[in-house]
Amino acid sequence: MSSIATNEEEKAPYYGTKNNDLPRKDLFRELRKRWQFKTGRTASALAEILEITPQACAAYANNSPTGRSAPLWAIIRLCYELDLALAIHGDGVVCIPVDSLQDILDGENEQ
C-alpha cells in the first residue's frame, strides 16, 4: 500500500478546506442591511424583489446557528442590486464595488 507524503506544516486556507462553506448568513444579513439603508425600503420589499416570502427573507438573515442559510443566488442578486461583487480568497470574503473590480480587471488586461 502506498502513502502520499504530506507536509503537516502546510495549512490549507479556511475556505479551501473541505466542509467549510461561505458565511452565507452573515453575508446576506450584511447585504440586506446595506440594501435597506441605500433604498430606505423594507425587508418585505426586498423579499418581493428576490421573489421569496418575507418569512424566508427574515430566516436567511436570522442570526440563529440552526436557521436557514441564504442561497448563493440570493446573495449574488443582492450584490447586483447594490453594485457590489464578492471577492473570495482563502481566508475571507469581502464585498467590493463593481467599479473597483472593473478597475482591477482593466489593469490585468493592460499587462
Look at residue 47 and tell me if it is in a domain: yes
pLDDT at 91: 84
Please give the residue that has the higher pLDDT: either 100 or 35. Answer: 35
Number of domains in the chain: 1
- Determine the average pLDDT of the residues in 20-38: 94
Assigned domain for 15 exists: no
Domain extent for 29: 20-110
Closest by Cα among 37, 11, 99, 24 to 65: 24
Q: Is 7 within the bounds of a domain? A: no
Using the predicted structure, report yes or no on whether residue 7 has a pLDDT greater than 50.
Answer: no
**Of 14 and 104, more confident:** 14
In a domain, 52, yes or no: yes
Tell me whether residue 1 is in a domain. Answer: no
Q: Examine residue 31 and state whether it is found in any structural domain, yes or no.
A: yes
CB 14 within 8 Å of CB 90:
yes
- Helix H or strand E encompassing 93: strand 92-97
Residue 45 located in a structural domain: yes
**Residue 18 confidence (pLDDT):** 86
Tell me, yes or no, whether 10 lies in a domain. no
Per the CB < 8 A criterion, the answer to whether 31 and 78 are in contact is yes
CATH code, domain with 34 = 1.10.260
Confidence bin at 109 (pLDDT 50/70/90): low
pTM here? 0.79
Output the pLDDT for position 110. Answer: 64
